[in-house]
Structure 1
Amino acid sequence: MVDRYWITFFVLLSCLVGVLDASAGDADPLYRACVGQCKKTGCVGETCFPHCKFSSDGASLDGPWYMQEPLYLQWKQWDCLSDCRYNCMLNREKEMASLGHGPVKYHGKWPFKRLYGFQEPVSVALSALNLVMHFHGWLSFFILMYYKLPLGLDKKRYYAFTSLWHIYGLLSMNAWFWSAVFHSRDVDLTEKLDYSSAIALLGYSLILAILRSFNVRIEAARVMVSAPLLAFITTHILYLNNYQMDYGWNMKVCLVMAVSQLLIWAIWAGVTHHPSRWKLWVVVVGGGLAMLLEIYDFPPYQGFVDAHALWHATTIPLTYIWWSFIKDDAEFSTAKLLKKMK
Structure 2
Amino acid sequence: MLVREEEREKHGGKPVKYHGKWPFHRAYGFQEPVSVALSALNLAIQFHGWVSFFILIYYKLPLTPSKKTYYEYTGLWHIYGILSMNLWFWSAVFHSRDVELTEKLDCSSAVALLGFSLILAVLRAFSMRDEAARVMVSAPIIAFVTTHILYLNFFKLDYGLNMKVCVAMGVAQLLIWAVWASATRHPSRFKLWVAVIGGGLAMLLEIYDFPPYQGFVDAHALWHATTIPLTYLWWSFAKDDAEFRTSSLLKKAK
TM range (shorter): over 0.9
Range 121-130 or range 292-301, more displaced:
292-301
**Match of residue 242 from structure 2:** 330
**Match of residue 91 from structure 2:** 179
Q: What is the alpha-carbon distance in structure 2 between the residues aligned to residue 276 and residue 183 of structure 1?
A: 35
Report the Cα offset of residue 251 of structure 1. Answer: 2.7
Range 148-157 or range 241-250, more displaced:
241-250
Q: Are 1:136 and 2:48 counterparts?
A: yes
Report the Cα offset of residue 209 of structure 1. Answer: 1.0
2:190 aligned to 258, 264, 278, which one? 278
Q: How many residues align?
A: 254
Report the Cα offset of residue 105 of structure 1. Answer: 2.2
2:154 aligned to 233, 237, 242, which one? 242
Gaps in structure 1 of 5+ consecutive residues: 1-88
Report the Cα offset of residue 96 of structure 1. Answer: 2.5
After TM superposition, the structure 1 = structure 2 runs for residues 180-259 of structure 1, keeping only pairs within 5 Å, are 180-259=92-171
Aligned amino acid, residue 285 of structure 1 = I
Aligned amino acid, residue 209 of structure 1 = A
Q: What is the alpha-carbon distance in structure 2 between the residues aligned to residue 102 and residue 199 of structure 1?
A: 32
**Match of residue 156 from structure 1:** 68
**2:19 alignment partner, SS class:** coil
**1:150 alignment partner, SS class:** coil
Q: What is the alpha-carbon distance in structure 2 between the residues aligned to residue 309 and residue 251 of structure 1?
A: 16
Q: What is the alpha-carbon distance in structure 2 between the residues aligned to residue 102 and residue 261 of structure 1?
A: 36
Aligned amino acid, residue 184 of structure 1 = S
TM (normalized to structure 1)? 0.71
Aligned amino acid, residue 196 of structure 1 = S
Range 213-222 or range 101-110, more displaced:
101-110
**Match of residue 290 from structure 1:** 202
Q: What is the alpha-carbon distance in structure 1 between the residues aligned to residue 84 and residue 13 of structure 2?
A: 40
Q: What is the alpha-carbon distance in structure 1 between the residues aligned to residue 205 and residue 141 of structure 2?
A: 30
**Match of residue 220 from structure 2:** 308
Range 128-137 or range 284-293, more displaced:
284-293
**2:157 alignment partner, SS class:** coil
Q: What is the alpha-carbon distance in structure 1 between the residues aligned to residue 13 and residue 145 of structure 2?
A: 43
Aligned amino acid, residue 244 of structure 1 = K
**2:139 alignment partner, SS class:** helix
**Match of residue 229 from structure 2:** 317
Aligned amino acid, residue 250 of structure 2 = L
TM (normalized to structure 2)? 0.95
Q: Are 1:117 and 2:50 counterparts?
A: no
Name the CA shift for 1:226/1:292 in 2 (closer, same or farther; >3 Å): closer
Identity of aligned residues (%): 77
**2:216 alignment partner, SS class:** coil
CA root-mean-square deviation: 1.5
Q: Which runs of 4+ in 1 moved over 4 A?
A: none
Q: What is the alpha-carbon distance in structure 1 between the residues aligned to residue 249 and residue 148 of structure 2?
A: 39
Q: What is the alpha-carbon distance in structure 1 between the residues aligned to residue 188 and residue 98 of structure 2?
A: 39
* 8 Å contact kept, 2:171–2:200: no
Gaps in structure 2 of 5+ consecutive residues: none
Report the Cα offset of residue 296 of structure 1. Answer: 4.1
Larger of the two Rg values belongs to structure: 1
Report the Cα offset of residue 175 of structure 1. Answer: 0.6
Instruction: Summarize deviations over 1:240-260 as a string: whole Å, max 9, x none.
Output: 111122233323322322222
Q: What is the alpha-carbon distance in structure 1 between the residues aligned to residue 95 and residue 112 of structure 2?
A: 19
